[in-house]
Chain A
Amino acid sequence: MTATLTPESRVGRREWAEWMLDRRWPVATAVVLVLLAAWQTYGVIAGLPEYILTPFEIAGSVTELLASGRLVELSSASLGRLTAGFLLGTTSGVLIGLLSGVSRWFGDIVDGAVGFTYPIPKITLLPILAIWLGFTDSTRILVIAIAVFFPAYINANAATRGVDQELVWVAKNAGAGTLRTVLQVVLPAALPRTVAGIRQSLALSFIFMFATEAIGSSTGADAGLGGEMFAARANGEYDVLWAALATVAVLGGTIDAGFRWLVGRLMRGQELEVTGRG
């Protein structure tokens, strides 16, 4: 009945939305390709300022840097820092977050400390830590770790506290002890939001990787993608700048996609809560 009453245009729009949803990957790819093509065409026909390269020029520059081995060198330096900082920060954030969600008194203590430090812009720690450790990898890793600690902690903690009372009661009804209830009910129930927090940490680790490399880094092998970009900008090597930028974008996108794929594989039944419709 309601379907026949719905105006023609609304039915059409819904069908169109469903059609789009079924084909969102091809459509998204097509949109990106069209934008790249427009960019390329405009660059060739109208010309671009010297600091903006066309997609083909960027691709050429990436190929060149890859061939010379420089890009791999830069990427592995960056990813090394990112991985170390990310693992350090998220592991401690998740563990402390879960623990403070489960234990009242521990939670109150940690929550107070976190509430106090959370508003501090983490990047300001870079010069402070640099006084102590110098502009070294340790400083950078530590800053990344501290930055990504917060989303990991906050989400793990809120997830654990937000577990439905009834789920815990189901466990109690079955006669499960505290340890079993925490491990087999509270933690899995808290997992979706915890993982969503880890995903935020992952995105943040890229930002902080870039930011920490921008300041006081060398121009050698361990400059990293961020260091190389700032050096390239200062020297007017715009091809290197764009190649490094493209690499950061591709690495970030790939790692996030891999993360979502893994979540989809490991968390059947709850994956939508983490990744949305994708």
Chain B
Amino acid sequence: MLSSNAAPSGATTMEAITDQPQLRLTGVRKTFHRDRKTVEALRDVSFEVPRGQFLSALGPSGCGKSTMLHIIGGFETATSGSVHLDGKPVTAPGRDRGMMFQQATLFPWKTVQANVAWPLLVDGWKRKHARERARELLATVGLSGFEHSYPAELSGGMRQRAALARTLGLAPDILLMDEPFGALDAQTRELMQEELTRIWQESQLTVIFITHDINEAVFLGDRVLVMGARPGRIIADVEIELDRPRGAHTKRDPKLVEYHNEFWDLIRQEAGPQPSGSRDAGETPS
């Protein structure tokens, strides 16, 4: 249902796409220069994502999670290294990679429905069809009845649902989600996790899901990347062997607790004994 957009997708055949990873990062580095300071946000990040995988990426604040996603999305360019999607280098943003940003990014001057319909209109859809599709997408994320509300009139969770609907409307192959539930309360967050799982299972989507919540990463992911800070890099890459479909029962699974402890230990080791001022360890005057 989610992949039923009218626009024809790329002419890749099934044979061509099964033997290579959908997404491949090779030695991605990103260095920011600001105020005569250099920040190494990412160092030698390399990994592959097979089609259809739900990949969680976990890491402390400032370890470069957003930066990594912005580079995959084509919004920022890597200082060195490369990103390949279906074998082709990524150089610019595209509808094949739907991005959900960390901050709320609905257009406040448009209604929820108009927000969701906008990317469709950009794609050349007829106004009437875009409106119908927007309503469908809003139903998928449980926002029926709020089509004509403005973002300012919605709760934080509802805004994220609307943003998800808008992103799904791009009919992407990969969903890039940057801590989409970070600002939600615990209950809303759990509901959204379960709904995202449902939406993902009903679709063909590959998801890269950023979070700094260990349980969230494990509950959602087929696989979890753990990142360390200063410089940002990958310190662990773990397959999650929890049965699907996952739901409320998964949260009580003892294996989830084991994963949680394993990742906590990793993160604790990574943080190490913290001397004062270690926050700036990755930043050196240039």
Binding site for B on A (CB under 8 A): 164, 166-167, 169-176, 180, 184-185, 188-189, 191, 267-270, 272
Contact = CB atoms under 8 A, between A and B. Distances in A.
B89 interface: no
B151 A166 contact: no
A132 B23 CA distance: 69
Task: Sort chain B's interface into a size bin.
Answer: 20 to 34
B101 A169 contact: yes
Nearest to B153: A269
Nearest to A174: B119
User: Which of A176, A191, A267 has the largest count of B CB atoms less than 10 A from its CB?
Assistant: A176
Contact of B101 (A170, A174, A188, A189): A170
A269 B111 CA distance: 8
A267 B110 CA distance: 10
Pairs A-B, 9 closest by C-beta atoms: A269-B150, A174-B119, A172-B93, A174-B122, A166-B101, A166-B105, A188-B109, A169-B75, A176-B122
A277 B4 CA distance: 44
Given A173-B170, A174-B123, A188 B95 contact: no
Given A173-B93, A174-B95, A268 B107 contact: no
Contact of B95 (A164, A166, A175): A175
Contacts of A272: 152
Contacts of B98: 173
Given A164-B103, A175-B122, A270-B109, 13 more contacts: A166-B105, A169-B75, A169-B93, A169-B99, A172-B93, A175-B94, A175-B95, A175-B119, A185-B107, A188-B107, A269-B151, A269-B152, A270-B152
A189 B109 CA distance: 8
Nearest to A176: B122
Contact of A268 (B123, B150, B170): B150
A177 to B, nearest CB: 9
Interface string B252-266: 000000000000000
B168 to A, nearest CB: 12
B129 to A, nearest CB: 16
B73 A173 contact: yes
Contact of A269 (B75, B103, B108): B108
A164 B105 CA distance: 9
B118 interface: yes
Nearest to B99: A173
A167 B123 CA distance: 17
A270 B122 contact: no
A18 to B, nearest CB: 20
A184 to B, nearest CB: 8
13 contacts: A166-B101, A167-B105, A169-B70, A169-B101, A170-B166, A173-B95, A173-B97, A173-B167, A175-B122, A180-B122, A189-B108, A269-B150, A272-B152
A171 to B, nearest CB: 8
A185 B106 CA distance: 11
A268 B152 CA distance: 10
Nearest to B169: A174
